[in-house]
Amino acid sequence: MTDAAALSRLREELKLSSEAVQPLATLDAEQLDALHVAVVAARKRQRELLETAITQALDHLPRLLRGPVLKILGHRR
């Protein structure tokens, strides 16, 4: 991957403008790739922690309440 392609991929991941990531252009493709991997992994970890927290919370709720709570959660399960 070229430096420019690696920068573009990171920009898309962070939803930043081209100008905002321009100072990162001093990093090479390998460094930008490492940063991208770290950001994606952290985001995935956040998502998993959130899913676990929701599952545990639902397990603690009385069955009668689970339906309304699921509705509030947007029927995500």
In whole angstroms, give the CA distance from residue 32 to residue 34: 5
75 binds other proteins (CB under 8 A): no
Q: How far is the CB of 40 from other proteins (least distance, A)?
A: 10
29 binds other proteins (CB under 8 A): no
Residues 22-59, buried b or exposed e (16+ Cβ, 10 A)?
eebeebeeeebbebbeeeeeeeeeeeeeeeeeeeeeee
27 binds other proteins (CB under 8 A): yes
- Give 4 or 61: the residue with its C-beta nearer to other proteins: 61
By CB under 8 A, name the binding residues for other proteins. 13-16, 20, 23-24, 26-27, 31, 34-35, 38-39, 41-43, 45-47, 49-50, 53-54, 56-57, 60-61, 68, 72-74, 76
